[in-house]
Structure 1
Amino acid sequence: MKTVSQQDPYAALRYSDFRFFISNTFLFSATILIQEVIVAYELYKMTHDPLALGLIGLAEVVPFIITSLFGGYVADQKNKITIMHISLVVIILGSVILYTVFQPGIYNAMTRGEHLAAIYAVFALIGFAKGFYSPASSSLKPFLVPRTIYHNSSTWSSSFWQAGSITGPAIAGFLYAYIGLTHTLLLVITSFIVCWILLGMIKTRPEFPKITTPILESLKEGFRFVFRTRIVLYAISLDLFSVLFGGVVAILPVFAEDILKVGPEGLGVLRAAPSVGSLLTMFLMAYFPPTHNAWRNMLLAVAGFGLFTVIFAISTNFLLSCAALFATGAFDSVSVIVRQTILQIYPPDEMRGRVAAVNGMFVSSSNELGAFESGVMAKAFGTVPSVMVGGVVTMAVVTWIYLRSKDLFSVRLS
């Protein structure tokens, strides 16, 4: 690999394979979210039940958890890009099924129960595929740039993911409103095919050592590494609990439709607001990386995330709600950069897939579990109280981890 300055804010972008990787990251993020937003909105129109939205998350997370550990094991000893290609084919198949189910003739011939079963089955299929895709993607990234610029590559990969998270929800509502559900799903299928092509343009093929230990013992090695490395364990724990209890994305259709009364276009803006805050903050972090006082920055960021979640919960003004969500995204981006840098620096190369799988189980799956928790709590206690409690719990978790991790304040990741 060629040499670039560690102080160069564009260091990681000077590697062509990394550019293809983050281009795929952007498009995959945007496309997944377009599909989730439009299907969730259609589902809420069909049921007017926040629990139905939460069940989308549950349907996706159960197969993800079941497969992700094995997916990490496979990623450590098979071609990572091949794994991602196969996973994308399965995800495309799920999108094709959704497109078919929502065709007017088929849609009208099905009962509401059949619609719900088909939707949940597709998200379960996508969760299964992501159980292989996610650890392969996470463990591929460190091989695309030199170790000395891992913090920079974390910033840019997260920025492109968040850019997709902005673009997807922002245009999803407008696409739904102006070209309709089925035409939007057709665009989703096309976009996933482009993702598949972008992955094929990556030339780097990391060597994968043959793992001779039994599969269960090999999987345990990933867990043991995480639980023995305190900074990794606490970083994963912070993100897990903040997303699990503080996430509001799954029930944003309820806020858009019933509380703020802004319709699908407003839903798109609400869904994009956290990602706008995150992207702008990540752009600043390319110049001012948060890795100097990494642990302090992470704790403050997660606390800020919880605080602005509470502010969003009590807001009845659309602009204030957008500003609060913007702030949650800004704070969340700091913790994401610190955690991703930790996960690139600490695991050995031969264990990256399994550590990524453990991280995926506890953090990535918390998005879907958080969606289910949000739906259940909103159903049981009301939408606003459930979000307020989630923000308070997040701040309480930060306090507890702060008291147990003061020695980590001296850690520098740059």
Structure 2
Amino acid sequence: MQHPETDPAPQAAPPARHPVQYGSFRAYLFGRLSAMLAQYGMMIVLGWQAYNIARETMGTQGAAAQLGLIGLAQFLPLFLLTPVTGWVADHFDRRLIVRATLLLLIAGASLMALATFEGWVTLPLIFLIAVLVGIARAFNGPAFSALAPNLVPKESLPRAIALSSVAWQSGSIVGPAMGGYIYALTPWGAYATSALLYVVAMTAMLLIGKVPQAARDLTRHPLRQMVDGLSYVRQNRFLLATITLDLFAVLLAGATALLPVYARDILQVGSQGLGHLAAAPAIGAAVTALWFSFRPMEREVGVRMLAAVIIFGMATIVFGLTAFMPHGIAMEVALASLVVLGSADMVSVYIRSSLIQLYTPDAMRGRVGSVSQLTISASNELGEAESGFLAALVGPVTAVIAGGIGAIIITLAWARLFPEIRLARSFDPPDIRPNGAPAPPFAPTAKETTT
């Protein structure tokens, strides 16, 4: 029997430690940011070189089609390898997977630095490196994303996932700006910088010791396990909605894929202007990430994600319309619209990535992460292909504007088809139901159902 007069009051649970207080997570965060900066800095330069080489023998629309092929070359390896890479991330040491792929990327970036310095860059070489990048990303994406939750205790997990998402998104937006600016100064230096950043990422990953990981499932055939990620997403309407929203919206609104066209032939600002254009989304994303670090989002996350994608589409339309504006203001409007685009994209990715990680059990994170990565790559690289090919058919300006309109239409349709998104209230991790499916974030609690 308890005696209120004498028994001590129950102690409140200590507050969760911030993820950066854990050494392994700090190394992971630094390594992931470095790798993403290198990867996306490399990708923008590959596109710029391919477009310029093609323009020597082709018109604007024919050269734009080469940008589409670059995106396709990166997407196809990931598309073909997705079932395997997710299974590998769930069954083998995720640190070793990341390290091996970083070695491959170091080799590719170094080769392009040498080829650019000596002047023997060709379209076939660019496509070969694009395929290599696609293969490396196919394996390190699921391993990287699934590793973060293994480095911190459960109570610190939501912030860890958010920080991991911010590092990935910051690198994906700041990287192109970095690549564009360095290429304007010294073309081979852009690739050399990427190679150096990959080395930094490798060093950071070597600092991470052995981490806990879910036990391997040895009772079922590997081929059956490989399709588990697809089945899990398909059966969970909430995850399906959040993943496919990004897939279709960003697939259509691929304005950044056509930045080389706008920089050279529409706004006529050259490689230095390309750096400015690529930096604009980075500024928007960085400011938004800084805001979240002080004022983390907690409520109405679903509605805010939908709003962010709509704003993303509107900013894309404004960017496309700069082709019809006076030369004196076109560049300023283009930069402003891209800042807004980057900010909206950061909000969307921050929410979506956090929800996907939090609503997936650790044993499935590699396979679900590979499905998520496939859709992200489809929206980015396949989106680049779509934008490039559409630009070749109807012109780059029409392609950008139509893509922005399409993103808005898709978002409104998803809000109606999947009310689960609109009803998502918070990032609070749900309980996992007996069948393995997580309770959706809007589901009533046990207390609510009994009152």
Are the counterparts in 2 of residues 291 and 338 from structure 1 also a CA contact under 8 Å? no
Alignment partner of 1:188 is 2:194: yes
Q: CA deviation at 1:404?
A: 1.9
Q: CA deviation at 1:38?
A: 2.2
Alpha-carbon distance change, 408 to 37 in structure 1, aligned in 2, over 3 angstroms = closer
Are the counterparts in 1 of residues 151 and 211 from structure 2 also a CA contact under 8 Å? no
- Secondary structure (helix, strand or coil) at the match of 2:317 reads helix
Partner of 2:151: 144
Q: CA deviation at 1:163?
A: 3.6
Q: CA deviation at 1:85?
A: 0.6
**In structure 2, C-alpha distance between the alignment counterparts of 1:152 and 1:279, rounded to whole Å:** 17
**In structure 1, C-alpha distance between the alignment counterparts of 2:156 and 2:293, rounded to whole Å:** 11
**In structure 2, C-alpha distance between the alignment counterparts of 1:187 and 1:345, rounded to whole Å:** 34
Alignment partner of 1:35 is 2:42: yes
- Secondary structure (helix, strand or coil) at the match of 2:91 reads coil
Alignment of 1:13-412 (within 5 A): 13-48=20-55, 49-104=63-118, 106-107=120-121, 115-178=122-185, 180-212=186-218, 213-315=220-322, 316=325, 317-411=330-424, 412=426
Could you say which structure has the larger radius of gyration?
Answer: 2
Task: Count how many residue pairs are aligned between Structure 1 and Structure 2.
Answer: 401
**In structure 2, C-alpha distance between the alignment counterparts of 1:168 and 1:4, rounded to whole Å:** 38
Structure 1: 5+ residue runs without aligned partners? 108-114
Residue deviations 1:270-314 (CA, integer Å, cap 9, x gap): 112112211211221233333411111111111111111111110
Alpha-carbon distance change, 147 to 409 in structure 1, aligned in 2, over 3 angstroms = farther
Alpha-carbon distance change, 233 to 186 in structure 1, aligned in 2, over 3 angstroms = same
Are the counterparts in 1 of residues 37 and 194 from structure 2 also a CA contact under 8 Å? no
- Secondary structure (helix, strand or coil) at the match of 1:211 reads coil
Residue deviations 1:42-97 (CA, integer Å, cap 9, x gap): 22221121111121111111011111221110110100010001111111222233
Greater helix share, structure number: 1
**In structure 1, C-alpha distance between the alignment counterparts of 2:344 and 2:405, rounded to whole Å:** 16
Are the counterparts in 1 of residues 89 and 142 from structure 2 also a CA contact under 8 Å? yes
Superposition TM-score, scaled by structure 1 size: 0.92
Alpha-carbon distance change, 158 to 347 in structure 1, aligned in 2, over 3 angstroms = closer
**In structure 2, C-alpha distance between the alignment counterparts of 1:322 and 1:334, rounded to whole Å:** 19
**In structure 1, C-alpha distance between the alignment counterparts of 2:176 and 2:14, rounded to whole Å:** 35
Alpha-carbon distance change, 150 to 242 in structure 1, aligned in 2, over 3 angstroms = farther
Q: CA deviation at 1:324?
A: 0.6
**In structure 2, C-alpha distance between the alignment counterparts of 1:103 and 1:327, rounded to whole Å:** 36
Partner of 1:112: none
- Secondary structure (helix, strand or coil) at the match of 1:102 reads helix
Letter in 1 for 2:264: E
Residue deviations 1:210-259 (CA, integer Å, cap 9, x gap): 22211221122111111111111110011111221112121101011111
Superposition TM-score, scaled by structure 2 size: 0.84
Q: Which range moves more in the overlay, 204-213 or 227-236?
A: 204-213
Letter in 1 for 2:105: I
Alpha-carbon distance change, 40 to 387 in structure 1, aligned in 2, over 3 angstroms = same
**In structure 2, C-alpha distance between the alignment counterparts of 1:150 and 1:327, rounded to whole Å:** 29
Q: CA deviation at 1:353?
A: 0.4
- Secondary structure (helix, strand or coil) at the match of 1:289 reads coil
Alpha-carbon distance change, 207 to 304 in structure 1, aligned in 2, over 3 angstroms = same
Q: CA deviation at 1:339?
A: 1.0
**In structure 1, C-alpha distance between the alignment counterparts of 2:227 and 2:178, rounded to whole Å:** 42
Q: Which range moves more in the overlay, 167-176 or 390-399?
A: 167-176
**In structure 1, C-alpha distance between the alignment counterparts of 2:309 and 2:298, rounded to whole Å:** 15
Q: Which range moves more in the overlay, 120-129 or 151-160?
A: 151-160
Alpha-carbon distance change, 165 to 21 in structure 1, aligned in 2, over 3 angstroms = same
- Secondary structure (helix, strand or coil) at the match of 2:334 reads helix
Alpha-carbon distance change, 393 to 16 in structure 1, aligned in 2, over 3 angstroms = same
- Secondary structure (helix, strand or coil) at the match of 2:75 reads helix
Q: CA RMSD in A?
A: 1.9
Alpha-carbon distance change, 206 to 364 in structure 1, aligned in 2, over 3 angstroms = farther
Are the counterparts in 1 of residues 253 and 400 from structure 2 also a CA contact under 8 Å? yes
